[in-house]
């Protein structure tokens, strides 16, 4: 076994790898950008070294910087985590050529499975059925449009080198294809340096089933059973579980056997995930499940597999990379109970899941679950990286028990002022259809209005905020409100606002003060069912109605302008794209709020803008 390992990643996965490596007696080395200098993974490691400025393209994605850091710190091995350079065959080869141990599959396997079109061709040769579609080299618009028309709509556009939902678009109508193609190619080029795409038939009721595989350098390959990752939004996973709900022994045997054949086709070593798309319109059936792709790395959702097998997948990675055989044979690996993972994102579901950035003045997670996180209270969510800030994992004897345990945990999350999807997760996990196992990849989309809506604070929340004002030792300006007690009456009323609602709340100062309300600046925040409600004095300048009713489009977050299909003086219709902003590895399209005229545009292609920046002004047709 090597004696030291550098983790070429950040956040929760870096912390996760460091913990196992240290338990095994290895010296751990963290790398960090300027934005991560004070991050938990930096403090957790034995050694840490700077690799560049905040943007990933200037730090975590610069292979030379990672290798220089390894040499400078005496690292013997490199663990890439996931994302960034984890599936970069050139980087893997450079690590090996430098005399270091690469903790991952051989570069050949990464290359063979990294490009979806070539991977599918290899799977066909190995006898693994693949999703019907177009995987050709001809990438001209006319050919791709013709192939999409031939496949039929809806059709799925996917980046050849893609992953994590990046560079993927569902196209429902032929007239929307070219615009979606352009956006998909642009996002794929930005995320992977490769704009090529493939096309797939869009399955009407799809389930996303994947199989965890492991191989070693002695020719052994095993599976660690399947996971279901069907609950997604914007093609990114939100809730994952193991085993897959509703799968029978015959179907499990078939899909796991297909995954083993896929791994053997590239003499796979290390941790990998073979992903399948299932047509669940008639339940899970072996003849209605097709190979999609193989991820040649550890997955974000690996904790659910660890929970149901009792194994440490990072330890397996380290041992296999050191040349050891797999710790267990296939017949020694068994399933126990059910595990579900929820991804906590810094985002606001009520605004279309737009990312949220800023300081974590309050960051409190439940203690009865497994928590994998890379941030702490007092830290900050930056605009430079993926918005996932934690993973919460529940394990129980039954699926329903695990789901309700995790729902309860998500409801206990307290984060402020950064917005999160905690309440959304709690509602999703407790949804009757989810508990019944009636899931597919459209589950969230079909219920988005109810799952993502901002809830109105309950009466107890209003009362908690009002009672907090009675604390005599409170030094805030709220103390001035006690002047309302002109005749020392036993009760007095406080006018509070939360969102667009204002109430006059009666307060009895004799009652015990509530500990539910937290003072942040001039606002009291109450946490209820995963939601943060901020109470403060009514804003006399607040406006009601459509926030874009004045025709002013503002940047909802810091980002870069990557598309501007209109110019000043153009006539536009409601819903037409005006500006596309790239932030936190995703594209966000700002559209016209009404039929009208583009009066002015304030930013050009490539410009970086701050949150609230006025991007465009529109005037309505009269």
Query: Could you tell me the pLDDT band of residue 539, with boundaries at 50, 70 and 90?
Result: low
Q: How far is CA 599 from CA 546, 552, 595, 612, in A?
A: 19, 10, 12, 18
Q: How confident is the model at residue 560 (pLDDT cuts 50, 70, 90)?
A: confident
Mean pLDDT calculated for residue range 201-228: 95
Q: Which domains does the chain have, with CATH numbers?
A: 4-103 (3.40.50.20), 132-201 (3.30.1490.20), 209-452 (3.30.470.20), 459-535 (no CATH), 552-620 (2.40.50.100)
With b for 16 or more beta-carbon neighbours within 10 A and e for fewer, the 480-502 pattern comes to ebeeeeeeeeeebebebbbeeee
582 has a pLDDT exceeding 90: no
| 230-268 pLDDT tens trace | 999 878 899 999 999 999 999 999 999 999 999 999 999
pLDDT at 523 (0 to 100): 86
pTM comes to: 0.80
Of the candidates 57, 112, 114, 67, the one whose C-alpha atom is nearest the C-alpha of residue 91 is: 67
pLDDT of residue 80: 97
Q: Is 283 helix (H, G, I), strand (E, B) or coil?
A: strand
> Measuring CA to CA, which residue among 144, 271, 289, 296 is closest to residue 230?
289
pLDDT(513) > 60:
no
Nearest to 8 by CA among 42, 24, 31: 31
User: Are the C-beta atoms of 339 and 307 separated by less than 8 Å?
Assistant: yes
Residue 101 clears pLDDT 90, i.e. is over it: yes
Cα–Cα distance between 404 and 54 in angstroms, integer?
39
Query: Considering the chain, what percentage of its residues have pLDDT values greater than 90?
Result: 66
Query: Which residues are tagged catalytic?
Result: 297
Q: Measured between alpha carbons, how far is 527 from 412 in angstroms, rounded to an integer?
A: 8
> Band of the pLDDT at 520, cuts 50, 70, 90?
confident
- Cα separation of the two ends of the chain: 75
Residue 82 is given by DSSP the state S
Q: Per-residue confidence at 401, pLDDT binned at 50, 70, 90?
A: very high
In angstroms, what CA-CA distances link 261 with 219, 264, 286, 353? 13, 5, 15, 38
Handedness of CA 564, 569, 570, 576 (dihedral sign): positive
pLDDT tens sequence across 413-442: 999 999 999 999 999 999 999 999 999 999
Q: How far is CA 288 from CA 148, 265, 584, in A?
A: 22, 22, 35
Q: Which tokens hold the place of 285?
A: 């059936």
Mean pLDDT of 310-338: 98
Contact indicator for 434, 382 with CB cutoff of 8 Å: no
Please state the φ and ψ torsions of residue 565, each to the nearest 5 degrees. Answer: -75, -5
Kindly tell me if the per-residue pLDDT of 558 is higher than 70.
Answer: yes
Is the Cβ–Cβ distance between 604 and 579 less than 8 Å?
no
Q: List the alpha helices (DSSP H) in 322-398.
A: none
Q: What DSSP character marks residue 513?
A: P
**pLDDT for res 335:** 97
Confidence of residue 502 (pLDDT cuts 50, 70, 90): confident
Q: How many other C-beta atoms can be found within 10 angstroms of the C-beta atom of residue 45?
A: 25
Q: Report the chain's mean pLDDT, rounded to a whole number.
A: 89
* Span 185-209, pLDDT tens digits: 998 888 888 899 999 888 888 999 9
Residue 45 has pLDDT above 80, yes or no: yes
């Amino acid at each position: 076994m090597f004696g030291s390992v550098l983790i070429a990643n950040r956040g929760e996965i870096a912390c996760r790898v460091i913990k196992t490596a240290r338990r095994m007696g290895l010296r751990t080395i963290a790398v960090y950008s300027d934005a991560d200098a004070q991050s938990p993974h930096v403090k957790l490691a034995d050694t840490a070294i700077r690799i560049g400025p905040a943007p990933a393209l200037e730090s975590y994605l610069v292979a030379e910087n990672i290798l220089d850091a390894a040499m400078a710190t005496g690292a013997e091995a490199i663990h890439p985590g996931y994302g960034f350079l984890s599936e970069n065959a050139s980087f893997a080869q450079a690590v090996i050529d430098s005399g270091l141990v690469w903790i991952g599959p051989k570069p050949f396997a990464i290359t063979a499975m990294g490009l979806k079109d070539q991977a599918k061709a290899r799977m066909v040769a190995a006898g693994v059925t693949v999703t019907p579609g177009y995987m050709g080299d001809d990438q001209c618009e006319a050919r791709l449009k013709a192939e999409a028309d031939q496949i039929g709509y809806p059709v799925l556009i996917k980046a050849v080198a893609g992953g994590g939902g990046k560079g993927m678009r569902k196209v429902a109508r032929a007239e929307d294809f070219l615009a979606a193609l352009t956006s998909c190619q642009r996002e794929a080029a930005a995320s992977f340096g490769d704009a090529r795409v493939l096309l797939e038939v869009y399955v009407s009721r799809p389930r996303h089933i994947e199989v965890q595989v492991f191989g070693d350098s002695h020719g052994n390959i095993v599976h660690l059973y399947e996971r279901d990752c069907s609950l997604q939004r914007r093609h990114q996973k939100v809730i994952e579980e193991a085993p897959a709900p509703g799968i029978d022994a015959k179907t499990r045997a078939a899909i796991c056997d297909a995954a083993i054949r896929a791994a053997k086709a590239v003499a796979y070593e290390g941790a990998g995930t073979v992903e399948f798309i299932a047509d669940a319109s008639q339940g899970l059936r072996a003849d209605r499940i097709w190979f999609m792709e193989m991820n040649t790395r550890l997955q974000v959702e690996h904790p659910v597999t660890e929970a149901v097998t009792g194994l440490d997948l990072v330890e397996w990675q380290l041992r296999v990379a050191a040349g050891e055989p797999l710790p267990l044979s296939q017949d020694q690996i068994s399933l126990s109970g059910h595990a579900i993972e929820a991804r906590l994102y810094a985002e606001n579901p009520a605004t279309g899941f737009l990312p949220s950035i800023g300081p974590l003045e309050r960051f409190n997670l439940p203690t009865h679950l497994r928590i994998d996180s890379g941030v702490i209270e007092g830290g900050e969510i930056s605009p430079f990286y993926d918005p996932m800030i934690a993973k919460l994992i529940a394990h129980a004897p039954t699926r329903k028990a695990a789901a309700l345990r995790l729902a309860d945990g998500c409801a206990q999350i307290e984060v402020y002022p950064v917005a999160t999807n905690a309440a959304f997760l709690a509602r999703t996990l407790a949804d009757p259809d989810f508990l019944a196992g009636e899931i597919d990849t459209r589950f969230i989309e079909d219920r988005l209005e109810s799952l993502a809506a901002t809830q109105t604070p309950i009466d107890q929340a209003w009362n908690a905020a009002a009672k907090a004002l009675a604390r005599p030792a409170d030094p805030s300006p709220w103390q001035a409100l006690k002047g309302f007690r002109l005749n020392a009456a036993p009760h007095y009323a406080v006018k509070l606002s939360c969102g667009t609602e204002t109430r006059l709340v009666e307060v009895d100062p004799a009652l015990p003060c509530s500990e539910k309300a937290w003072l942040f600046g001039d606002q009291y925040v109450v946490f209820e069912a995963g939601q943060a409600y901020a109470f403060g004095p009514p804003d006399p300048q607040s406006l009601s109605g459509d926030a874009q009713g004045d025709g002013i489009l503002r940047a909802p977050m810091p980002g870069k302008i990557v598309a501007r299909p209109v110019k000043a003086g153009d006539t536009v219709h409601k819903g037409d794209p005006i500006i596309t902003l790239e932030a936190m590895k995703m594209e966000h399209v700002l559209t016209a709020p009404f039929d009208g005229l583009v009066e002015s545009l304030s930013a050009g292609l490539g410009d970086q803008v701050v949150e609230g920046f006025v991007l465009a002004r529109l005037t309505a047709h009269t």
